[in-house]
């Protein structure tokens, strides 16, 4: 099975809206690949991403139609995550499909506790185990060298780029299968941005990644596949090279080359 996730004919309508925000979207997320979603504001790319770990469900009343299939841990078959009803299962889903937001969201606690918090919730209790996972996560998020001497400091003392990497460490501590990034670098300076991009290219070896970005060059640099969305529809999905060098749809071409549609 080469796809970790498969969005199939997904139509999504926000609570109280008359029109759906996503119209029959299909998108594969290949295993150990980076899939980027691009498109103008309001095209539905973040809405789609947030559907992929049902984070919309934190507020009631939204309507999903279609399927979002997630590969089962035994790699035999898929489960439609839209069928999940129980809160505990939704929490488990969000551990398997982690999300990083645009603004870093460190908890108001120490660097160590930021990562250990979720681990404790998921049942890791022993100090030594916690320490081991915290270190490994920080290393994977390329933050260990900068943070190892200040694990007991408040996480809010880190720079923006460091905070974002801490959030990534926090997500990967739970050993997710998929990581969703929602514009993870739009609040960061160019150097911190490159550090995150570099990290994503390393994380790809262990995780499947889907990233929403407004920075098209970023999509071109780090992704294997790119989907271009417009007005709630998936206009074109293809290998990133093809999208940026020879897209087949005029709308895609106009958008990526900065032309009037």
Partner 1 sequence: MTTGQHISHKFDEEVEEVTSSVLSMGGVVVQQIEKAVKALLAGDKEMAEAVIEGDLKVNTFDVDIDEMCNRIIVMRQPTATDLRLIMAIIKTTSDLERMGDEAKRIARQAIDISKRGALPEQFDSIEQMSTRVTGMLNKALDAFARRDIDESFNVIHLDRKVDKDYENLVRQQITYMMEDPRKIPVAIDLLWSSRALERIGDRACNICEYVIYLVKGKDVRHVEIKELKKHL
Among residues 60 and 261, whose Cβ is nearest to partner 1? 261
Do 115 and 173 meet the contact criterion of CB atoms below 8 Å apart? yes
Taking CB under 8 A as the binding criterion, the range among 41-49, 138-146, 177-185, 250-258 that sits at the site for partner 1 is 250-258
- Our finding on whether 260 is near partner 1 (CB under 8 A) is yes
Please state, in angstroms and rounded to a whole number, the distance separating the CA atoms of residues 230 and 191.
Answer: 30
- Our finding on whether 257 is near partner 1 (CB under 8 A) is yes
Q: Give the pairing type, strands 97-100 and 178-182.
A: parallel
Do 29 and 178 meet the contact criterion of CB atoms below 8 Å apart? yes
Q: Give the pairing type, strands 233-239 and 225-230.
A: antiparallel
Taking CB under 8 A as the binding criterion, the range among 38-46, 67-75, 144-152, 252-260 that sits at the site for partner 1 is 252-260
Among residues 122 and 248, whose Cβ is nearest to partner 1? 248
Among residues 57 and 236, whose Cβ is nearest to partner 1? 236
Q: Give the pairing type, strands 34-38 and 208-212.
A: parallel
* Torsion, Cα of 22, 23, 28, 29 (10° steps): 0
Q: Look at residue 239 and give its three-state secondary structure.
A: strand
Please state, in angstroms and rounded to a whole number, the distance separating the CA atoms of residues 109 and 146.
Answer: 17
- Our finding on whether 250 is near partner 1 (CB under 8 A) is yes
Smallest distance, Å, CB 43 to partner 1? 17
Site for partner 1 in 185-244 (CB under 8 A): 216-217, 220, 244
* Residue bearing tokens 């998936």: 234
Smallest distance, Å, CB 247 to partner 1? 6
Number of amino acids touching partner 1 (CB under 8 A): 16
Residues within the interface to partner 1 (CB under 8 A) = 216-217, 220, 244-247, 250, 252-254, 256-260
């Amino acid at each position: 099975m080469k796809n970790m996730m498969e969005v199939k004919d997904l139509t999504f309508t926000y609570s109280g809206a008359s029109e759906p925000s996503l119209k029959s979207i299909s998108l594969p997320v290949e295993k150990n690949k980076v899939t980027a979603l691009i498109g103008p504001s309001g095209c539905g790319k973040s809405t789609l991403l947030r559907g992929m770990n049902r984070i919309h469900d934190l507020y009631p009343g939204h309507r999903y139609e279609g399927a979002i299939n997630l590969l089962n841990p035994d790699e035999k078959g898929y489960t439609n995550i839209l069928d999940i009803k129980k809160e505990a299962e939704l929490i488990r889903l969000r551990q398997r499909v982690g999300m990083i937001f645009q603004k870093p969201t460190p908890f108001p606690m120490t660097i160590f506790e930021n990562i250990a918090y979720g681990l404790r919730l998921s049942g890791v209790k022993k100090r030594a185990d916690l320490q081991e996972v915290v270190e490994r996560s920080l290393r994977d998020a390329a933050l260990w060298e900068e943070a190892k001497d200040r694990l007991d400091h408040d996480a809010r003392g880190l720079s923006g780029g460091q905070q974002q990497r801490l959030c990534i460490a926090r997500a990967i501590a739970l050993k997710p299968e998929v990581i969703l990034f929602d514009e993870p670098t739009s609040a960061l300076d160019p150097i911190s941005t490159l550090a995150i991009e570099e990290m994503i290219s390393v994380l790809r070896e262990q995780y499947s990644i889907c990233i929403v970005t407004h920075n098209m060059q970023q999509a071109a640099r780090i992704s294997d596949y790119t989907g271009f969305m417009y007005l709630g529809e998936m206009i074109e999905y293809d290998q990133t090279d093809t999208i940026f060098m020879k897209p087949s749809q005029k709308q895609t071409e106009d958008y990526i080359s900065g032309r009037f549609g």
